Amino acid sequence: MKPTSILTAALLCALSSISFAKPLKVFILAGQSNMQGHADISTFDYVGKDPLTAPILKEMRDAEGKPRVCEKVWITSLGCGGNQYSDMLVKTGKLTAGFGASDGKIGPEFTFGIYTEKMLKEPVLIIKTSWGGRSLHTDFRPPSAGQYKLPKVVQDEWDQYPQGAHGVPKLEDRKQWQEEKDAASGVMYRAMIEHVRKVTKDIKQVCPEYDEKAGYELAGFVWFQGFNDLVDGQTYPHGNYDEYSRLMSHFIRDVRKDLSAPKMPFVIGVLGVDGEKNVNFRKAMAAPADMPEFKGNVVAVDTAPFWDHDIAAALENQDAYNNILATAYSLKKDATLDTEGKWNNYWKPIGKSLPEEQIWRFTTVDATEKKDQMEKSARQFRDITLPAGMENWFMPDFDDSKWTSGKAPIGKGFFENWGHTLHELNFDKFPSRWGAGEFLLMRSTFEVEELNCESYRIAAMVIGHQGFHIYLNGQKIHTTNRSPGHVRYASIVLNKDQDKLLKKGKNVLAAYSNEIYNGGGTSSESFAGIDVRIEGITKADQKKLDLALEEVFSPKDMEALKGASNGGYHYFGSAKILSQIGKAFAEALLALQK
């Protein structure tokens, strides 16, 4: 090679190593719990099940199948330490999974960062501030929006209750209410602005490779919030969300002013909880993007199209499935047992006598020691000191011959069940009366000839907030402290160790329960009802039941729920949904810069 050729090659090599520095692109992400992100890593596989989202999963994982670590994307996240109401924890590092609402979770930031890096092909810094359960009307209230004021229609309603009512403070307390509202207004807005200023003042603490000479550029802002405003009927009465549009406009102006970025591109993430529902609210969220002053630098991204209807249906079916599993029997309006239900033919009573013919021994007692006593209005299920000689009342060899004997259910008073099909059930009509005491102790002996079932369960009557302990052959096998606000026989399936307590021959079933104070009025002052049955299901019947239950909760549903890790208003904690949202935010924001 000639000397000139060598020199030319060396020069070209030197020139190729030169880096022409650009300002660091800084993106701000802010909002409430959906910006925090509740999608667990365990839901990543589900992303790959859909051909539409499978390519996104490839971007989310490295060659070993682990969550990707972005080498040129850094993040500082304020408000993702786990406590949604007081969290000021800051997490910093290269972007990967774990910058969601807690460790092991992601929010929109994950794919937002992945796709901004991919599209820009240059380093990126994400500043994220998010807190669960926060509103725009108060917590994130922008400074220029003015003082929080009740809508006139709500103020007029308040004026009708000068002495106060549920959710309405007394007239003399309203000045203090307003002062507390003013103090809370804008707290998270200020925390957000302060964090952005703090980070941008010393970017090297977050991004060690930051070139101070090149500087940085506030390249865009993503807002993803809304649930607390959606459900606030006080601020937005009768589904009128115009105030949200006004606040959002002030928010955009104030953020740009306070961060000295007058034309900073802005994305409004429109809440898509429940898919295409909540039309009025979604329109109000998106409305500022159509204002002339924001034309070309503000865009609304609708997240409703990413709502997963398969997961939504599966969760609804799972609720029905779980209710079936948790319910042994329902009661009719006359308080008698409904034995004709669709799911009642698989479990069978065990023992020689049928449950309705079984004889119980029972007695009632009151709390005598001061530490065990409660005012009637505060009464709840609790353990009390029993009278002398009754400490081992649940043991098989205890002498209950002086107790009252009778058939179950045992009850007193009647129960008003507002909002449910069952109502005003008269427990005075039960075969046995409860008695005067607050607590009831009941025991029954039953004979078992064969133990040939796959599983065994207790079917125990549950009423309101009534609690109970259940014992089998001297061992406590179950405790219920609070029960659902409706009447049913709960299905309590025994585990394998508890199954071993059953034996051929004589067995003793016992229960301890309390009455419920109802406060008088149109109802009886107190009411109570209890029945306890033991049943078994054969292996063959269990298979039949499992097959029948697939009508309610199918294998397809089970597969869909592998993509969920949280509740509905958190987009089911689904990585499939939040990964699409993060990608859409990135694409929309970068489109504004062109």
- 3-state DSSP assignment of residue 78: strand
The residues that bridge with 3 in the sheet, in sequence order, are none
477 is written with which tokens? 């096998």
Report the distance separating Cα 333 and Cα 330, nearest Å. Answer: 10
pLDDT tens, 90-107?
999 999 999 999 889 999
Statement: residue 384 has pLDDT above 90: yes
Main-chain phi, psi angles of 321, to 5 degrees: -60, -50
Per-residue pLDDT band at 16 (split at 50, 70, 90): very low
Report the distance separating Cα 523 and Cα 501, nearest Å. Answer: 41
Report the distance separating Cα 541 and Cα 548, nearest Å. Answer: 10
Q: Which amino acid, residue 49?
A: K
Report the distance separating Cα 491 and Cα 488, nearest Å. Answer: 9
Report the distance separating Cα 250 and Cα 531, nearest Å. Answer: 61
Determine the pLDDT at residue 81: 62
Helix H or strand E segment including 229: helix 227-230
Per-residue pLDDT band at 217 (split at 50, 70, 90): very high
Q: Distances from the Cα of 539 to the Cαs of 321, 341, 349, 497, in angstroms?
A: 20, 21, 15, 18
Q: How far is CA 262 from the centre of its chain?
A: 38
The residues that bridge with 192 in the sheet, in sequence order, are none
pLDDT tens, 494-538?
999 999 999 999 999 999 999 988 765 445 678 889 999 999 999
Statement: residue 10 has pLDDT above 70: no
Main-chain phi, psi angles of 458, to 5 degrees: -100, 130
pLDDT tens, 229-261?
999 999 999 999 999 999 999 999 999 999 999
Closest CA to 200 of 214, 186, 188, 216: 216
Say which range, 8-12, 49-53, 451-455, 550-554, has the weakest mean pLDDT: 8-12
Q: Which amino acid, residue 241?
A: Y
| Sequence-ordered list of residues with C-beta below 8 angstroms from that of 174, at least 6 positions apart, any chain | 158
Cβ atoms of 382 and 501 within 8 Å: the answer is no
Mean pLDDT of 446-462: 94
Per-residue pLDDT band at 5 (split at 50, 70, 90): very low
Statement: residue 484 has pLDDT above 60: no
Determine the pLDDT at residue 125: 98
Q: How far is CA 338 from the centre of its chain?
A: 33
Per-residue pLDDT band at 20 (split at 50, 70, 90): very low
Q: How far is CA 555 from the centre of its chain?
A: 24
- Residue entry with tokens 């200020």: 190
Determine the pLDDT at residue 13: 39
Report the distance separating Cα 125 and Cα 208, nearest Å. Answer: 11
- Vertex 537, ends 531 and 539: CA angle to 5°? 170
- 3-state DSSP assignment of residue 205: helix
Main-chain phi, psi angles of 37, to 5 degrees: 100, 120
pLDDT tens, 324-337?
999 999 887 777 78
Statement: residue 22 has pLDDT above 80: yes
Determine the pLDDT at residue 291: 98
Characterise 576 by phi-psi region: left (phi > 0), alpha (psi -120 to 50), beta (else).
alpha
Cβ atoms of 45 and 562 within 8 Å: the answer is yes
| Sequence-ordered list of residues with C-beta below 8 angstroms from that of 445, at least 6 positions apart, any chain | 506, 507, 508, 509
- 3-state DSSP assignment of residue 545: helix
Closest CA to 47 of 572, 575, 559, 571: 575
Main-chain phi, psi angles of 180, to 5 degrees: -65, -35
325 is written with which tokens? 């599993």
Per-residue pLDDT band at 8 (split at 50, 70, 90): very low
Q: What DSSP assignment string belongs to 143-162?
A: GGG-S----HHHHHHHHT-T
Q: Distances from the Cα of 334 to the Cαs of 331, 409, 443, 460, in angstroms?
A: 8, 13, 26, 18
Q: Which domains are seen in the chain, by residue range?
A: 19-148+185-307+574-592 (3.40.50.1110), 327-547 (2.60.120.260)
Determine the pLDDT at residue 524: 60
126 by Cβ neighbours in 10 Å (0-12 / 13-18 / 19+) ranks as buried
Per-residue pLDDT band at 14 (split at 50, 70, 90): very low
57 is written with which tokens? 């999963």
286 is written with which tokens? 């998106």
Closest CA to 409 of 488, 508, 351: 488
Helix, strand, coil fractions of the chain, as percent rounded to 5 = 35, 25, 40
Determine the pLDDT at residue 422: 52
DSSP state, residue 65 = S
How does strand 90-94 pair with strand 73-78?
A: antiparallel
Widest pairwise Cα distance in the chain = 118
How many other C-beta atoms can be found within 10 angstroms of the C-beta atom of residue 435?
Answer: 17
| Sequence-ordered list of residues with C-beta below 8 angstroms from that of 429, at least 6 positions apart, any chain | 334, 335, 411
Q: What DSSP assignment string belongs to 248-299?
A: HHHHHHHHHHHTT-TT--EEEEE--TTTT--HHHHHHHHGGGGSGGGTTTEE
Closest CA to 373 of 387, 384, 364, 363: 384
CA-CA-CA-CA dihedral for 191, 196, 201, 205, to nearest 10: 100
Determine the pLDDT at residue 362: 98
pLDDT tens, 146-174?
999 999 999 999 999 999 888 899 999 99
